[in-house]
C-alpha cells in the first residue's frame, strides 16, 4: 500500500510539471467517471438520478477546478435533457419537466461556479504558501550563513567551530591555531582600517589553501584550521604555503609583511576529546613559540585519551 501511495504521489508531481498533459488527464478522468455514473443510473433505472450526478459534479469541480466541473456539468445537463424529455427526445418537454430541467441547469452551473471558485482560491492560497515557505527557507539559510561566518574575514566563526566539532569525531585531524605576530603594531602604525584588511586577506588566503569549510576565526587575530582529510606532510606543506603567501601582503599598494606563530595538534579524535582540550594544547604550544621568538610553527601529537 505504501508503494502504491508513493507511486501515485510521484505520478501527481510528474503531472504538475506537465500542465497540458495534466489538463487532458483531468478531462479524461472526469468524462469516464461521469459516463460510468450515467450508465449506472440508466441501467439501474434510478428514479432520481440527478442527486448522484450532482455529487459527481461537486467532486470533480473540487478535484480539478473549473475544467473538471464544466465537463461534469455538461454531462449532467445532457443526461437530464435525456431523462426529462418526452420519449427521451432531448427536445420535447412537458411543462413540469421543462421547469425541472431549468432548475437543474441553473443549479448545476451555480454549483460548478461556486465549487470551482473555492478550488481556484485554495490553489492560489497553496501557491502563496509554497512561495512563502520557499522565501522562509532561503531566509533561514541566509541567517544560518550570517550566524556562522565572520563578517570581516569571510571564514567561519567560533560558533561554527563549536557546531562543526562533532563532525570531526573518529577522524585523524590536524588542528592549526595561529596568532598573527605583532598585530597591534600593524594597527598602531597603519591604522585599524588597514589592520582589518590584513585580517580579511589572511582569512581569504586560509580559505584558498585549506578550503573554506575548515577555517575559523577564533577571535581577534587568531585563526583555527581543522583538517581531517590530509597527511601531516601535506598539512605542514600547506602551512608553509600560508607563511609564504601572507608575508607579501599588500594593502592599498602598501606592503604589509605578516608573520604568525602557530601550534599544530595532531590527534585521532574520540568523543572524549573536547574541543577546549584540543585548543588548550594548541594554545600552549603556540605560546611556547611566542616565547621562543615567534614566527614559527610547532607540532605535537596527542592520543584519543588525552
Give dist(CA 52, CA 57) in Å, integer: 9
Give dist(CA 83, CA 97) in Å, integer: 9
Domain ranges of the chain: 2-141, 158-302
Task: Quick: pLDDT tens for 252-289.
Answer: 888 888 999 999 999 888 777 788 888 999 999 999 99
Lowest-pLDDT choice from 145-159, 196-210, 226-240: 145-159
pLDDT at 261: 94
- 41 pLDDT band, cuts 50/70/90, is confident
pLDDT for 37 beyond 90? no
| 165 close to 275: Cβ distance less than 8 angstroms | yes
pLDDT at 305: 42
173 strand-pairing partners = 267
The residue among 146, 247, 149, 152 whose CA lies nearest residue 193 is 152
Q: Per-residue pLDDT averaged across 87-99, rounded?
A: 86
| 153 close to 199: Cβ distance less than 8 angstroms | yes
Q: CB count, 10 Å around CB of 90?
A: 12
Q: Which CATH architecture has domain 158-302?
A: 2-Layer Sandwich (3.30)
134 CA to centre of own chain: 8
Give dist(CA 105, CA 16) in Å, integer: 32
pLDDT at 13: 64
pLDDT for 86 beyond 70? yes
Q: Per-residue pLDDT averaged across 233-242, rounded?
A: 93
Please tell me what DSSP assigns to residue 302: E
Amino acid at each position: 500500500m505504501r508503494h502504491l501511495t508513493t507511486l501515485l504521489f510521484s505520478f501527481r508531481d510528474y503531472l504538475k510539471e506537465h500542465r497540458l498533459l495534466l489538463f487532458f488527464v483531468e478531462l479524461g478522468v472526469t468524462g469516464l467517471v461521469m459516463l460510468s455514473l450515467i450508465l449506472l443510473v440508466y441501467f439501474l433505472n434510478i428514479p432520481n438520478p440527478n442527486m448522484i450526478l450532482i455529487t459527481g459534479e461537486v467532486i470533480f469541480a473540487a478535484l480539478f477546478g473549473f475544467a473538471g466541473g464544466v465537463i461534469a456539468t455538461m454531462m449532467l445537463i445532457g443526461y437530464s435533457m435525456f431523462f426529462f424529455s418526452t420519449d427521451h427526445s432531448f427536445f420535447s418537454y412537458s411543462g413540469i419537466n421543462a421547469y425541472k430541467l431549468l432548475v437543474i441547469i441553473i443549479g448545476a452551473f451555480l454549483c460548478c461556479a461556486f465549487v470551482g471558485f473555492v478550488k481556484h482560491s485554495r490553489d492560489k492560497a497553496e501557491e502563496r504558501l509554497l512561495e512563502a515557505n520557499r522565501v522562509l527557507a532561503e531566509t533561514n539559510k541566509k541567517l544560518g550563513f550570517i550566524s556562522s561566518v565572520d563578517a570581516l574575514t569571510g571564514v567561519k566563526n567560533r560558533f561554527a567551530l563549536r557546531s562543526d566539532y562533532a563532525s570531526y569525531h573518529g577522524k585523524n585531524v590536524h588542528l592549526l591555531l595561529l596568532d598573527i605576530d605583532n598585530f597591534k603594531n600593524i594597527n598602531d602604525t597603519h591604522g585599524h582600517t588597514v589592520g582589518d584588511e590584513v585580517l580579511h586577506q589572511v582569512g581569504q588566503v586560509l580559505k584558498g589553501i585549506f578550503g573554506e569549510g575548515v577555517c575559523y576565526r577564533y577571535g581577534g587575530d587568531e585563526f583555527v584550521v581543522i583538517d581531517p582529510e590530509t597527511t601531516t606532510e601535506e598539512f605542514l606543506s600547506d602551512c608553509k604555503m600560508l607563511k609564504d603567501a601572507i608575508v607579501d601582503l599588500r594593502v592599498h599598494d602598501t606592503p604589509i609583511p605578516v608573520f604568525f606563530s602557530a601550534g599544530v595538534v595532531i590527534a585521532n579524535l574520540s568523543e572524549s576529546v573536547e574541543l577546549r582540550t584540543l585548543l588548550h594544547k594548541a594554545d600552549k604550544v603556540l605560546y611556547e613559540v611566542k616565547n621562543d621568538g615567534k614566527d614559527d610553527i610547532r607540532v605535537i601529537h596527542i592520543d584519543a585519551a588525552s
